[in-house]
Structure 1
């Protein structure tokens, strides 16, 4: 209703799966401009379907939690060292290379400078 009334230009959703987006479109005729999801190498396989669907449908993906992946920590550390980067830099670059934007969160000045 807000979009139809001209009160907003776009809508965004968070943690929507394909069936939820399709339900939204069916009910309102409006597709979200963006779907914000947790996305990192540790969960990439399970997120493949929603990422592919959104990108093919013109729905941007914004990833949160991209640097929180503990399942690949050792591998990330080795690759980061090889590329003269930090683990956070490597993981953020990986997410961008998947075609998604990222929301990097930082809890310290050191992390912000990375």
Structure 2
């Protein structure tokens, strides 16, 4: 299956769709990621906080695929902030993964109350310049956080991973990212299943003879978003990946856009500290 790729603002390329491994039990992660790699996934999204980096690394090492064909993401948790702590957090992540380098490293949350995200960003810039990570970005940042990073360091994140699904379409943040040259990556892209039975999604799925999850994934892709649905089930992983070949009409996309209720299912980044 042809994998669409996105060019990041540092010139590197990333698969548009990947597998998220949040809440996959540590003991099942290597198996789940192994199934995904065999199915054709080439982007795996992990994080220190998920507690399953070791399984992710094992699956990559055992896959038989060239390392350069697999795009691995991890994230720095909220208790590892400031230059020295961030570098230590990165070292621990790399020990768990057992890989020589990371493709993408993100600051997981801004935690504005700490006022350490700029200093932490500078540490990620150092790690990138040392070649230990190829690209650097953020997750759950709002526009003022992004602008401050750029103004104080001159380095724009390649990507901002934010909660985004039909019930919370984040049109404003998508426009901000477009203006700044930042890729939008959707977490909880299926809305935790809440939109599977929504009128527009259910109607489109029935008409096209596909699963509601496939319709929603195709909607993300049609908007030019990177999307990382999670699944332990090998068949469901394949179904999700098959959404790459699904094309929605402009009317279908507009009908799903109209499902936006502006309601988060996760924490507010202005307040969340973990």
Matches within 5 A, 1:37-76: 37-44=162-169, 47-67=170-190, 68-71=192-195, 73-75=197-199, 76=201
Q: Give the counterpart of 2:224 among 89, 99, 102.
A: 99
CA contact (8 A) 1:41 1:69 kept: no
Tell me the CA shift for residue 4 of structure 1: 5.5
Unaligned runs of 5+ residues in structure 1 are: none
CA distance in 1, matches of 2:177, 2:148: 14
Matches within 5 A, 1:28-39: 28-39=153-164
Runs of 4+ in 1 over 3 A off after TM superposition: none
Matches within 5 A, 1:75-90: 75=199, 76-90=201-215
CA distance in 2, matches of 1:72, 1:17: 28
Map of 1:3 onto structure 2: 125
Unaligned runs of 5+ residues in structure 2 are: 1-121, 240-274
CA contact (8 A) 1:41 1:72 kept: no
Who wins on radius of gyration, i.e. which is larger?
2
Tell me the CA shift for residue 103 of structure 1: 0.7
Say how many residue pairs are matched. 112
The range that moved more, 12-21 or 71-80, is 71-80
The range that moved more, 50-59 or 64-73, is 64-73
- RMSD in angstroms over aligned alpha carbons? 1.9
SS at match of 1:106: coil
Larger RCO: 1 or 2 (CA < 8 Å, sep 6+): 1
TM-score normalized by the length of structure 1: 0.85
